[in-house]
Amino acid sequence: MELSASLSTISEQQPQGREGQGNTKTDLAGQSLLSSEEWLQLHGLKSNKLTLKQILSQIGFPHCEDYVTSLGRLVASRYADGLFPQFYRPEDGRVYNLTAKSELIYQFVEHLTQAVESYKQRMDWLTSRSRQIFGVILEQRITIVLDFGGMLEEELSLCQDALTMVLQEQVAHIATFNIIRVSQPPVKWQENAVPVTEQSIAAAISWVEKLPFELAVSQASCLDALLEAGNDKTIESIYYFVVGDVSEQTKGLLLQRALEIPCPVCTVSFNARGEGTIAFLKDLSAKTHSRFHAFAERTECVEIPAFAGKDGDSVITWNLRKLKGKRPPGAGVREDVFLIWREMEEACSTLAQIQRLVAEPPKSEVAPIDQVIPEIDTGNIQGTSSATNPEDTWDSKKWLQKYGLKAQKLTFYDVLADCCFRHADGVVDVKVKPEDESIQTNAETNKKTVHAKYCSRFVHAPWKDGSLVHVCITKEKCTWYSERIHTVLAQIQRRIKWLQDGSQILFGKVRDDCIYVLIDTSHSMKSKLDLVKDKIIQFIQEQLKYKRKFNFVQFDAQAVAWQEKLVEINEDNLRGAQSWVRDIQV
């Protein structure tokens, strides 16, 4: 398939192992100079024809019993019923008749597996090393403005390490650059942006490592540095690297003067103390049509065991500083990471649905019940386990739209549709092919006299439109229906058992996205509280993680909330809520 070559390049373009100067320029440049939007245009599901809709169009065709615009008339799929395995797509309610062999479906499973892995690698790459601290540099010609006015003395070496990493991993793969430090007057590494070479990168790193710590400079210094950067007409963008906070007196004038600079001002916040600085820098980057990035840095020193040189010379001890941290409060979600995460979630969901087509027979009126193809092992793929099965979040109404008797075409009228015929006596309309078969038109109608001589030989049944039909059911049809209905009933039984298991037994299926859970901790709950706490923790693990926001409140004589207001669903909040619930006492 054409998809193979396209998909095989995705994982190859991800940098492998620890990054540094040993990586090839091509690999890093290919990553550094692409935004997530551009990267997904090359490697996304849609561009590789791997969305669920695109895959279904390649392994089958829509089952139509409705008005077709291209034909300009109603279509009734009288001859497709029972001939094909079928797949129900709950997103739009469409049913697809499947025509592909299992070998082709296996190929799509393999391609989706590769796509999920490539998205995971891309997310790891975006959230590691210099990209975690600085974001991704997208322009070819830049100037970095260093504002150390709010920096603590012990943070200087950390900033130098971070900037060195940015220069080695990202700036080394663009065209030209310059660095300006906010001071009185501004300290410029070079008068204007210079071409990127090994020598210029090494010189810039040496310059950064020799930067001294200075006490807070005047409020106008940052304005002067930004204007100096903007005077260089050769650059495409300014990266404003701010350590600590921006003073309130400076914000208004800084925003006003930044709008006068002819190029975008991308803001990077490093160790901001308050959310006010975060909000201001986000606003500044938005108004200059650029990007914002924030990082709250923490350090951890790791002592590497001593080792001897080749010739038994003196022992060397290494101290490795790990740059660790996360986005500070108020920074929000990184859009570039969110886009990849959303694509990965869609890929995982699509993979789970396509994998089921080869793990068990698609539901059809003629598919043998024992036609089971061995399941593909996708256990190592993040997001495809049963714990993240999207169907676990469905309510019963949506679940029955896919697995109920009507959806499986196992109702009385569906089952008898292909083994009954209408009672006819007298003149009837008979559809025949047109005389000129080269013309695309409807079948022609001929009148024919029919005498109902053999009606007594068939079972009679009233049809849904009130007419009378004759039914001819074979032994094979009875056997097939018995097997199908028992399978579907067993599936429904498992669903009922699942609904009565775990957190569902206490909470049922929670449908809303913003949840408050009120917990009665009065004395009457003394004998039941441990059970309730266990079920609440199960509820967090099984259902709450799929929601948007949540909070807990315990009450007896007075109410005590876990948080002041609803909080976002994330790993830290879920873990903290579980710990809080475990500590609840009567």
Mean pLDDT check: name the lowest of 160-164, 368-372, 582-586: 368-372
More confident: 148 or 389: 148
- Same structural domain, 207 and 324: yes
Domain membership flag for residue 404:
no
Lookup: tokens for 531: 């059970």
- Provide the domain limits for residue 384: 3-126+342-393
Closest listed residue to residue 215, CA positions, set 153, 273, 144: 153
- Same structural domain, 228 and 314: yes
Lookup: tokens for 241: 């690297």
Does the reported pTM lie above 0.85? no
Quick one: 199 exposed, middle or buried, by C-beta within 10 A (0-12, 13-18, 19+)? exposed
- Same structural domain, 247 and 319: yes
Domain membership flag for residue 337:
no
DSSP 332: -
Lookup: tokens for 200: 């210029």
- Give me the mean pLDDT over the 535-553 stretch: 84
For residue 570, how many C-alpha atoms fall within 13 Å in the half-sphere facing its CB?
A: 8
pLDDT in tens, 345-379: 899 988 988 888 877 544 443 333 333 333 333 33
Structural domains counted in the chain: 4
- Same structural domain, 233 and 122: no
More confident: 127 or 452: 127
Lookup: tokens for 431: 């559809």
pLDDT at 335 over 90: no
- Give me the mean pLDDT over the 531-555 stretch: 84
How many whole angstroms separate alpha carbon 269 and alpha carbon 263? 19
Tell me if 552 sits within 8 A of 523, measured CB to CB. no
pLDDT in tens, 291-334: 888 877 654 443 334 333 334 333 333 333 445 556 666 667 78
What is the structure's pLDDT at 77?
A: 55
More confident: 454 or 11: 454
What is the structure's pLDDT at 296?
A: 73
Domain membership flag for residue 183:
yes
pLDDT at 423 over 60: no
Contacts of 33-41 with C-beta under 8 Å, sequence gap 24+, read 33/137, 33/138, 33/140, 33/173, 33/174, 34/136, 34/138, 35/136, 35/138, 35/336, 36/122, 36/126, 36/335, 36/336, 36/337, 36/339, 36/340, 37/339, 39/122, 39/340, 40/339, 40/340, 40/343
Which run of H or of E encompasses 429? strand 426-432
Domain membership flag for residue 376:
yes
What is the structure's pLDDT at 560?
A: 86
More confident: 290 or 314: 290
Which run of H or of E encompasses 516? strand 514-520
Give per-residue burial for 101-120: e unless 16+ CB within 10 Å, then b: eeeebbebbbbbbbbbbbbb
Phi and psi angles of residue 497, each rounded to the nearest 5 degrees, phi first: -65, -40
Please tell me whether residue 224 adopts helix, strand or coil conformation: helix
pLDDT in tens, 55-112: 888 888 777 655 556 666 665 555 555 567 777 776 666 777 788 888 888 899 999 9
- Same structural domain, 7 and 118: yes
pLDDT in tens, 496-537: 877 777 666 667 777 778 888 888 888 888 788 888 888 888
| Largest CA-CA distance found in the chain, in angstroms, rounded | 111
Q: Residue 534: which CATH number? A: 3.40.50.410
Lookup: tokens for 412: 């009385």
- Same structural domain, 241 and 110: no
Q: Which of 309, 332, 355 corresponds to the end of one domain?
A: 332
Domain membership flag for residue 401:
no
Strands (E), 210-307: 237-243, 265-270, 292-307
Tell me if 488 sits within 8 A of 408, measured CB to CB. yes
- Same structural domain, 263 and 365: no
pLDDT in tens, 31-49: 556 888 888 988 999 989 9
pLDDT in tens, 179-189: 998 888 888 88
Tell me what percent of the residues of the chain surpass a pLDDT of 70. 69
pLDDT at 30 over 80: no
What is the structure's pLDDT at 443?
A: 65
- Same structural domain, 309 and 363: no
pLDDT at 128 over 60: yes
- Same structural domain, 289 and 175: yes
- Give me the mean pLDDT over the 157-167 stretch: 88
State the pLDDT confidence band at 19, using cuts at 50, 70 and 90: very low
Q: How many CB atoms lie within 10 A of CB 560?
A: 12
What is the structure's pLDDT at 401?
A: 84
What is the structure's pLDDT at 402?
A: 83
- Give me the mean pLDDT over the 17-40 stretch: 57
More confident: 577 or 442: 577
Mean pLDDT (the chain) is 74
CA distance between the termini of the chain = 63
CA-to-CA dists, residue 475 to 411, 419, 420, 467, angstroms: 18, 12, 15, 25
- Same structural domain, 387 and 508: no
pLDDT at 177 over 90: yes
State the pLDDT confidence band at 460, using cuts at 50, 70 and 90: low
Q: How far is CA 34 from the centre of its chain?
A: 19
pLDDT at 215 over 80: no
Q: Which of 286, 304, 332 corresponds to the end of one domain?
A: 332
What is the structure's pLDDT at 112?
A: 92
Domain membership flag for residue 16:
yes
- Give me the mean pLDDT over the 375-384 stretch: 34
Helix axes 221-230, 248-258, angle to 10 degrees: 20
Mean pLDDT check: name the lowest of 26-30, 397-401, 417-421, 462-466: 26-30
Tell me if 179 sits within 8 A of 208, measured CB to CB. yes
DSSP 363: B
What is the structure's pLDDT at 580?
A: 87
Domain membership flag for residue 144:
yes
What is the structure's pLDDT at 162?
A: 87
What is the structure's pLDDT at 308?
A: 39
- Same structural domain, 315 and 365: no
State the pLDDT confidence band at 23, using cuts at 50, 70 and 90: very low
What is the structure's pLDDT at 333?
A: 74
- Same structural domain, 149 and 296: yes
Phi and psi angles of residue 461, each rounded to the nearest 5 degrees, phi first: -145, 140
pLDDT at 195 over 90: yes
What is the structure's pLDDT at 197?
A: 92
What is the structure's pLDDT at 117?
A: 92
